[in-house]
Amino acid sequence: MSIKTNIIIEQKYLEVGHTFMEVDSIHSTIEQKLRNRKEVYTPADYIPIINSARQRPSPYETIYLSSDDFYAFEPVYYKSIRPGKKAGDPCVNDVVAFQYTPKGIIHYKLCFQDEWAELPVRPKRLESLPDHPKLYTGPIPIEESKYTHLQELKELIPQDNRPFYENLLHK
């Protein structure tokens, strides 16, 4: 995706024993806004709450995703993303961050303070970029028992919001 969009993508993981990340302050701001707002009946109701949780320097941007927005990514350029090659070398679960570049190179960090290091495995050369299939063919059905429970709770929400729950796909 980094190659097709010509952007650098960074993927970060929590370090063991260090549970604070920048995104925690975003979650906290949204939670504070939610305390003052009790009327959340559908997932779409979160969008105005999130957008209004911060005004400066600018409101948070929200993108409402559907099942159509997810792709099945298969290993294309790299057989492995392990940062080491032999026993005793770092493993994937030692990595705290990956960086994907538009040139198809993957960098990693074993500690957030480290400089980016290039994976020791070389990417495959490809003639063209592969198309990735959609991960889902439609909305993901929920379990029958969950659907039944939601139908029972439906009486507690306004009439205008009930079709969302009535139209949920279920097994």
What lies within 8 Å, CB to CB, of 146 at 6+ separation is: 170
pLDDT at residue 145 greater than cutoff 70: yes
Tell whether pTM > 0.85: no
Backbone angles phi, psi at 27, to 5 degrees: -60, -40
Q: Per residue in 25-77, pLDDT tens?
A: 888 899 998 887 778 999 999 999 999 899 889 999 899 899 999 988 777 77
CA distance 64 to 48: 11
CA distance 111 to 97: 8
CA distance 106 to 113: 18
pLDDT at residue 125 greater than cutoff 90: no
Q: Where are the beta strands (DSSP E) in 27-120?
A: 97-100, 106-109, 117-118
Asked if omega into 57 is within 30° of 0 (cis), the reply is: yes
**159: pLDDT confidence band, cut at 50, 70 and 90?**
very high
Average pLDDT over residues 129-149: 90
Give the model's pLDDT for residue 21. Answer: 67
CA angle 55, 58, 64 (to 5 degrees): 95
Q: What are the domain boundaries of the chain? A: 2-140, 141-171
Q: Per residue in 73-82, pLDDT tens?
A: 777 777 778 8
